């Protein structure tokens, strides 16, 4: 079992290193919208909203995507901290 764990740990490190090597920094709102569109299965409107949310919250902000009860897609910005439960 320990050999298996060591092997998995080595594989994880190799994958992380490879992903870091292949990744590229994106900066523009247009690039963020493109990544958001791909992540949203080609939904360009969602990609644009993700880029808009990133513009509003910044690099260190948090974006939460929730399923809506209605048919509208909307963007709400919450200032400060938010706790889901007690």
What percent of the chain is predicted at pLDDT more than 90?
Answer: 59
Q: Are 49 and 40 in contact (CB under 8 A)?
A: no
Pick the more confident residue, 66 or 21. 21
Q: Does pLDDT of 86 surpass 70?
A: no
pLDDT score of 68: 81
Query: In terms of residue numbers, what domain contains 31?
Result: 2-57
Q: Does residue 29 lie in a domain region?
A: yes
CA–CA distances in Å: residue 21 to residues 12, 36, 39, 45: 14, 21, 21, 30
Can you tell me the distance from the alpha carbon of 12 to that of 77, in angstroms, rounded to the nearest whole number? Answer: 36
For 18-53, how does the pLDDT look when each residue is reduced to its tens digit (9 = 90+)?
A: 999 999 999 899 999 999 999 999 999 999 999 999
Q: Which burial class, exposed, middle or buried, applies to 52 when counting CB atoms under 10 A from its CB (0-12, 13-18, 19+)?
A: middle
Q: Determine, yes or no, domain membership for 33.
A: yes
Question: How many CA within 13 A on the CB side of residue 80?
Answer: 2
Residue 84 lies in a domain: no
pTM over 0.85: no
Q: State the total domains in the chain.
A: 1
Structural domain contains residue 25: yes
């Amino acid at each position: 079992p320990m050999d298996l764990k060591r092997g998995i740990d080595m594989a994880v490190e190799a994958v992380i290193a490879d992903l870091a090597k292949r990744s590229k920094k994106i900066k523009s709102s247009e690039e963020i919208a493109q990544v958001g569109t791909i992540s949203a299965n080609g939904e360009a409107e969602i990609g644009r909203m993700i880029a808009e949310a990133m513009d509003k919250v910044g690099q260190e902000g948090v974006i939460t995507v929730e399923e809506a009860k209605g048919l509208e897609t909307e963007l709400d910005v919450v200032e400060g901290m938010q706790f889901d439960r007690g």
